[in-house]
A and B are shown apart, each in its own frame.
Chain A
């Protein structure tokens, strides 16, 4: 199937996720879509699969213009998408999952479908037991099953979103083998990835996205240096940071392992000094989210311990961490950080006022007035927080931070903020830092990390693969480490 996308735009409210993307994919090829988090890859693929609707632009399949209003329409046109998290039914068996969506009418011939499944599986060297409950399968096997189901539904274009995440090296080989076979048979394959090595091993051609736009296209063999430059851009020269005297150790991880995210966190030992600003880089789910939650006491380590001011914090919960000066600001502001339906004043009554039986409403109102003014929040004390813009919600969260925190943990603090808000926020935070606060923040924007951090940690697959000071941090080295190219990563 020949695919042509013309001038695709997608707006999520004020967010412009796809900004006029043109893409052409020839039949019988494996085409890679590369880019860092938030580059617009998944959005584009979901548009092609009918899962979301484009704001404007044109989709041509074999030269015919098409409009998808739902995934079923795309599926009828021969488009099948394998989502990052398999959309299947764990309580059912392999065969039942295979039959879902294919069987019409009320008569089920399990034997017939079983034979069909076996035949397809053999064709691709997949080992699948039709009667095993799906819940006993690995992610890789579930992916194989989903692939067979899509093919059986008549898919001529297969879209795979980050297919190598969470599967074993052997399964990866089997999958790549199968995909190449499919391409030889004339099917078209689109692979979304952030891993350069996967793209190199698999694709005939690659399109690179960055911040919602196409930044480059090239044919195999690829030059990874050029790919990296297209993926991460050339960041502006970082301004010289004030050479602060690093203070004593504030926070330390000793051989900490934990679950969570896609990769968990594996055997992590690292320590942080007073007044440091540390940027946590890495693709989403590489371990930095778990790391921040462990440092906040929101999650308990499976092994190892977190130390705060030299004190072993095993067994302490988030409130204990909080009492000792740790503040955590989650990335999902309205889902995790603020309480929709409550006003600004009510937030101050909860977080910044005396905890008496009668709520000191007058104090809370006074506090709210002062801080709304000081933090330039566009709203009144009576405003419900869901009525604030993203930037103003972030300002409110900042204004709720207790005075002079010891450790400030920020999860993607500038996500969804405009440049001005982001700039304002960092000015405020670096001010705190001068008073001795240690700041750890994760970010999908390499530019941001290089701009403000004194030290950069790069996470890959649950491990810290690079730990450098700002002076040693050049964008190429960090970009390579993010994509799994650090010398000690594998």
Chain B
């Protein structure tokens, strides 16, 4: 037993090393091709993300929505669904939060309005995910296509709102709707660049997700159905219904991330409100090998890449999309290394 564990740890170390080597050699080639020094590029990303407390706070601002979406995706991945629609669910959450704030601006009682907007965001995100789930379970539409389609619809809705009914007095522009009054911002502490409430909420969601997956029937059902829906049905579960539950949970958390973007980051609705954090979370969860414990560090790493790469256009003649190249090649490298490991295991 002890020895088996030793071998397992060793193989994990080898796998991680192989993954990093693969991903960074690819990225380095990309940087070299663009004619810039790779080490300098990496240096700027590190300095720009964890070089000061201010930068770390900025990274954490990105970390919060990534963790929220990733936790939700754990449910859908466990039950065997590809919830690509998470991006649209973030957008719908943002829209719902904005709608409540616009209505509540005249009402007063900001704490009540803020809470209500969070609930509305979770509800709307959840319903948007439910739509994809119903298309899947009742309509026989693959959830990937359903989710992608709904993402386009969500983008259409947000653009229509910003350029139509919710446009700024006089002008409609890509910069979004009229900013909200200060009392409708997510409360923070003086001197903090990141709301401690949001940080606490993200940690709370993480613990709650862990607890739900481990100790409740929801987690057991998701695990069972994801691994064998047919046998789960014979053992008394209804895979279709549980899939809808998992989608709602994922959509609810994505909606919460959308609300966070409105309440704590932009304080208005902008077209790019989701900042692709939904898609990025899919990568986070895949890289975490669908295990909750790896989500916080990997989400932090991805957030750091996003924030740090903003330095690239300023310091070098490079686009900040290098962060995306690193993130993408990391996930691909992980999948490849996993595939290799599986094949070798099967051969032996």
Residues of A within 8 A of B221 (CB): 350
Inter-chain contact B235/A400, CB cutoff 8 Å: yes
**Which of B219, B227, B236, B238 is close to A340, meaning CB atoms less than 8 Å apart?**
B227
Instruction: Tell me whether B100 is interfacial, beta carbon within 8 Å.
Output: no
B217 touches A359 (CB 8 A): yes
A359 to B236, CA, bound (A): 15
Given contacts A336-B230, A356-B217, A359-B215, contact A342 B236 (CB under 8 A): no
Q: Cβ of B228 and Cβ of A339 under 8 Å apart?
A: yes
Is A420's CB within 8 Å of the partner chain B?
no
Q: Is the CB of A339 within 8 A of B215?
A: no
Interface string of A379-415 (1 = CB under 8 A from B): 0000000000000000000001000000000000000
Closest to B229 in A: A339
- Using CB atoms, name the residue of chain A closest to B223: A342
The listed residue (B216, B230, B238) touching A319 by CB distance below 8 A is B238
Q: Which residues of A contact B233 (CB under 8 A)?
A: 318
The reply to whether the CB of B272 lies closer than 8 angstroms to some CB of chain A is: no
CB-CB < 8 A to B223: which residues of A? Answer: 341-342, 346
B286: interface (CB < 8 Å): no
Is A337 interfacial (CB 8 A cutoff)? yes
The answer for the CA separation of A319 and B221 in the assembled complex, in Å, is 16
Give residues 208-243 of B contacting A (CB, 8 Å): 215-217, 219-221, 223-224, 227-228, 230-238
The CA-CA distance from A361 to B214 in the complex, in Å, is 10
For the complex, what is the distance from the CA of A218 to the CA of B233, rounded to whole Å? Answer: 49
Q: Which residue of B lies closest to A329 (CB)?
A: B234
Say yes or no for A12: interface residue by CB 8 A criterion.
no
In the complex the two chains form, is A350's CB within 8 Å of B230's CB?
Answer: no
Q: Is A351 an interface residue when CB atoms closer than 8 A count as contact?
A: yes
- Report Cα–Cα, A9/B230, bound state, in Å: 35
Q: Tell whether, in the assembled complex, residue A339 and residue B231 are in contact, meaning their CB atoms are under 8 Å apart.
A: yes
Tell me whether B220 and A339 are in contact (CB under 8 A). Answer: no
- A339 nearest CB neighbor, chain B only: B228
0/1 interface trace, chain B 78-97, chain A, CB 8 Å (1 if under)? 00000000000000000000
- Least Cβ–Cβ distance between A347 and chain B, in angstroms: 7
Chain B positions within 8 Å of A336 at CB level: 228, 230-231, 234
Q: How far is the CA of A338 from the CA of B229 in the complex (A)?
A: 10
Query: What is the chain B residue whose CB lies nearest that of A349?
Result: B220
Assuming the contacts A339-B227, A340-B227, A342-B223, asked whether A350 and B216 have C-beta atoms less than 8 A apart, the reply is no
Chain B contacts for A350, CB-based, 8 A: 220-221, 224, 232, 235-237
Residue A253 at the chain B interface, CB threshold 8 Å: no
CA distance A330 to B234 in the complex (A): 9
CB within 8 A of A357: which of B217, B224, B227, B232?
B217
> With A349-B220, A357-B216, A358-B217 in contact, do A337 and B231 touch (Cβ < 8 Å)?
yes
Cα distance A336–B238 in the bound complex, in angstroms? 15
Q: Does A322 contact B (CB under 8 A)?
A: yes
In the complex, are the beta carbons of A319 and B236 less than 8 A apart?
A: yes
A232 within 8 A of B: no
The answer for the CA separation of A350 and B234 in the assembled complex, in Å, is 11
Most chain B CB within 10 A, of A322, A328, A355, A359, is at A359
Give Cα distance in the complex from A357 to B219, angstroms.
10
Contact A346 B231 (CB under 8 A): no
Per-residue contact bits, chain B 185-201, to A (CB 8 Å; 1 contact, 0 not): 00000000000000000
Which residues in A have their C-beta under 8 angstroms from that of B220? 346, 349-350, 359
Measured CA separation A347–B235 after assembly (Å): 8
- Chain A, Cβ-Cβ closest to B237: A350
Complex Cα distance A351/B220, Å? 11
- Tell me how far the C-beta of A101 lies from the nearest C-beta in chain B, rounded to whole angstroms: 27
Contact with B along A317-353 (1 / 0, CB 8 A): 0110010000010100001111111100011011100
CB of A342 within 8 A of CB of B227, answer yes
Chain A residues with CB under 8 A of B219: 359
| Chain A contacts with B in 352-369, Cβ cutoff 8 A | 355-359, 361
**A342-B238 Cα distance, complex, nearest whole Å:** 17
State how many angstroms separate the Cβ of B143 from the closest Cβ of chain A: 21
Min CB gap B213→A, angstroms:
11
Contact partners of B227 in chain A: CB under 8 A:
339-342
Contacts of A358 in B (CB 8 A): 215-217
Does B234 contact A337, Cβ atoms closer than 8 Å? yes
Within 8 A of B (CB), among A286-337: 318-319, 322, 328, 330, 335-337
Which residue on A lies nearest to B218, using beta carbons? A357
A346-B223, A350-B220, A350-B224 known; A361 vs B215 contact (CB < 8 Å): yes
Q: Across the interface, do B224 and A346 meet the contact criterion of CB distance under 8 Å?
A: yes
Q: For residue A359, which residues in chain B have a CB less than 8 angstroms away from its CB?
A: 215-217, 219-220
Residues of B within 8 A of A340 (CB): 227-228
Please tell me which one of the listed residues B224, B236, B238 contacts residue A339 in the complex, with CB atoms under 8 A apart: B224
Per the 8 Å Cβ criterion, residues 164-202 of A in contact with B are none
A293 → B minimal CB distance (Å): 11
B62 CB to nearest chain A CB (Å): 33
Chain A's closest residue to B230 (CB) is A336
| 8 Å CB interface, B238-269 against A | 238
Q: How near does chain A come to B134, taking the closest CB pair, in angstroms?
A: 19
Bound Cα distance A339, B234 (Å): 11
Cβ contacts under 8 Å, B238 to chain A = 319
Name B232's closest neighbour in chain A (CB-CB). Answer: A339
> Known contacts A322-B236, A341-B223, A350-B224; is A355 also within 8 Å of B231 by CB?
no
Among all A-B residue pairs, the 4 with the closest Cβ atoms:
A339-B228, A341-B227, A351-B235, A339-B227
Can you list 14 A-B pairs with a CB-CB distance of less than 8 A?
Answer: A338-B228, A339-B224, A339-B232, A339-B235, A341-B223, A342-B227, A349-B220, A350-B220, A350-B221, A350-B235, A358-B215, A359-B216, A359-B217, A400-B235
Contacts A322-B236, A342-B223, A351-B235 supplied; 18 other A-B pairs, CB < 8 Å: A318-B233, A328-B234, A335-B230, A336-B228, A338-B228, A339-B224, A339-B228, A341-B227, A346-B223, A347-B235, A349-B220, A350-B221, A357-B216, A358-B216, A359-B215, A359-B216, A359-B217, A359-B220
